[in-house]
Structure 1
Amino acid sequence: MPPVPDLTPVNDGFPDPRQAMDEPNGLLAVGGDLSPARLISAYRQGIFPWFNEGDPIIWWAPTPRAVFFPDKVKPSRSLIKLAKKYPWRVSVNQAFDQVISHCAAPRANEPDTWINSQMIEAYQSLHRIGKAHSVEIWLNEKLVGGLYGVCVGKVFCGESMFHTVSGASKLAFWQASRLFSHCGIELIDAQLENSHLMSLGAELMDREAFLESLEQWRDDELNPQIWQARWLEFQESPYN
């Protein structure tokens, strides 16, 4: 196996993501830092960090990529039923720090978390400069679900989601997709395939097609008001 490129202070640039390894799938480089400039550069090239506490930073560009097209995201019948069951509320960028903290919390079937303190601080920094965003679901004034990610032009790179009430993360994803569709976001990058994402309707896109789409949309500008911290109208029906 060829050596993995090391991002030292002297080597600030990333290798071409097309050079990522087949095994492990998508391994591209190690080292570097999680500064806003490096993270933005990574996402613009279809690269993301993923590593465990105590390990060096590891950068990935896997294939295939799990993606969603916002205007094709449709809620299941059970999710529509849940949406009508309680007085949910939805917001954008009202509780970013809380969302990422919830996402970082260990889960019953996953005692370890890859969202360590270093990652939390890095994405909080991105949020403060308007590059990372959250969508939240509330019930009885309590935050019960949400997601966060990084926006690159008209591509939203989803990082993680959580729920403390069953189904609330799915509601957050549905409401976020509705917002994205209305505001011009063309693609949601969900990174790695898993059963949960596929159940939500994720599609698989090979690396080359994904990078071509990213290159097409990453320099497009959105209306900055999309990310204004605010409450949104909660959608109970896919036909609203």
Structure 2
Amino acid sequence: MSRRQMEITPELMLRAYRIGLFPMAESRDARTLYWLDPEMRGVIPLTGFHLPRRLARRVRQAPYRISANEAFAQVIAACAAPRASSADSWINAEIQALFTALHRQGHAHSIEAWQGEVLVGGLYGVSLGGAFFGESMFSHADDASKIALVHLVARLRLGGFTLLDAQFQTAHLAQFGTQEVPRALYKQQLATAVEVPAIFPADPDPEALAREIAALRAEG
């Protein structure tokens, strides 16, 4: 990792993502960002995504309304909020501002899970060509963030994406078939993916989305 030497702009963020770097803060109140370039990268397979049976049943039951890009600011704020399992967050005010700017430019996207009018889960990330860089997720209701992830994968497949970067492998993400990829191999995959002319389908055809989710259940 390296300390910031210059002002980070949305344009610099995109250049960094293109070569495999991503920013983090040491805490919610930190004023300095640093770049990470992990030796091993977590990658969620878009082909071969593992959908656990119990979660597949929950997805089929549709306990939440799922949307995309309806509440980006709310999602990133919820991801930045303190959690019971962690006293702090790596998402500081500057990161929120930078990703919000990327969202306005059409490069950052959110998936939301709603219970009535209440936002109960979601995730956000950055798209660049056919690569999607997942940043963070949150859940205030059972399986809300997991179901949001399933809908993200379905949308990415519909949009022609080839790479879903999860940054790090975790026990939570392992259940979806997440793989650890060495840095050199990841960057080869990334270089190919960013040249793919994919489009993030925030509002896909409902029937096409339903078919893609059904395909994920069948593959899982």
Could you tell me which residue of structure 2 aligns to residue 79 of structure 1? 55
Aligned residue number for residue 208 of structure 1: 184
Cα deviations by residue, 1:141-194 (Å, 9 ceiling, x for unpaired)? 322111100111101000001111021111010111011112111011111222
**Partners in 2 of 1:125 and 1:232 — Cα distance?**
28
Q: Which runs of 5+ in 1 are unaligned?
A: 1-26
Opposite residue 184 of structure 1, the aligned amino acid is G
Task: Give the Cα–Cα distance (whole angstroms) in 1 for the partners of residues 154 and 202 of structure 2.
Answer: 14
2:14 corresponds in structure 1 to 40
Contact 2:52-2:175 within 8 A present in 1 as well: no
Greater displacement, 204-213 / 139-148? 139-148
State the 1:30 CA deviation: 3.1
Over the matched positions of the two proteins, sequence identity in percent amounts to 34
SS in 2 for 1:72: coil
- Residue 75 of structure 2 aligns with which residue? 99
The runs of 4+ residues in structure 1 deviating greater than 4 Å are 230-237
Distance 2:6 2:12 in 1: 8
The answer (yes or no) to whether the contact 1:102–1:162 under 8 Å persists in 2 is: yes
Is 1:145 aligned with 2:121?
A: yes
The answer for the alignment partner of 2:134 in structure 1 is: 158
1:157-236 matched pairs, under 5 angstroms: 157-223=133-199, 226-227=201-202, 235=210
TM-score by length of 2: 0.88
1:62 aligns with 2:62: no
Q: Which moved more, 1:28-37 or 1:40-49?
A: 28-37
1:51 paired with 2:51, answer no
Q: TM-score, normalised by structure 1?
A: 0.81
- Ranges in structure 2 where 5+ consecutive residues have no aligned partner: none
**Distance in 2, Cα, partners of 1:221 & 1:128:** 20
**SS of equivalent to 2:4:** strand
Tell me, in whole angstroms, the C-alpha distance in 2 between the residues paired with 1:152 and 1:223. Answer: 9
Higher CA-based Rg: 1
One-letter amino acid of the counterpart of residue 91, structure 2: I
Structure with more helix by fraction: 2
- Cα offsets for 1:76-123 (capped at 9, x unmatched): 111122224454221111111111011011100101011111111110
Measured in 2, the distance between the counterparts of 1:63 and 1:216 equals 19
CA distance 1:219–1:84, change in 2 (3 Å): closer
| Cα distance in structure 1, aligned partners of 2:55 and 2:137 | 16
Q: Secondary structure at the match of 2:113?
A: strand
The Cα offsets for residues 14-48 of structure 1, whole Å up to 9 and x where unpaired, read as xxxxxxxxxxxxx2453323311110111011000
